[in-house]
Structures are given as structure tokens and as C-alpha cells.
Amino acid sequence: MLLRSIFYLYLFAYLTFCYYIAKESKKRRLYEKVNEFSRVYSEIFV
């Protein structure tokens, strides 16, 4: 019983960690796209 609860706790922590990493990488990718767009925009219009 204790082993099962430890396993579920570990699984929950692992899934939370994976979700956090995916969210952060998506945010970083979006930030890089915005950065690239603003650089191209400034090269064209400035």
C-alpha cells in the first residue's frame, strides 16, 4: 500500500515536471519567434 502511494506520488511529480518543461519550451519558442519578427520588422522599416 505504501509502495503504491509512493509510486503514484512519483508519477504525479514526473508528469508535473514534464508539463512544466513543455510549457517553458513552448514559451521560449514563442519568445524567439517574436524576437525574430521584431528584428526583421526593424530591418525593413528602420
pLDDT digits (tens, 9 = 90+) for 10-46: 999 999 998 998 888 988 898 899 899 888 888 887 6
Task: Report CA torsion sign: 9, 11, 30, 32.
Answer: positive
pLDDT of 41 reads 83
The two most distant CA atoms of the chain are separated, in Å, by 67
pLDDT of 9 reads 92
Q: Tell me the pTM.
A: 0.55
Q: How far apart are CA 29 and CA 21, in angstroms?
A: 12
Whether 1 has a pLDDT exceeding 90, the answer reads no
Residue 41 has which C-alpha cell? 520588422
Q: How far apart are CA 38 and CA 46, in angstroms?
A: 11
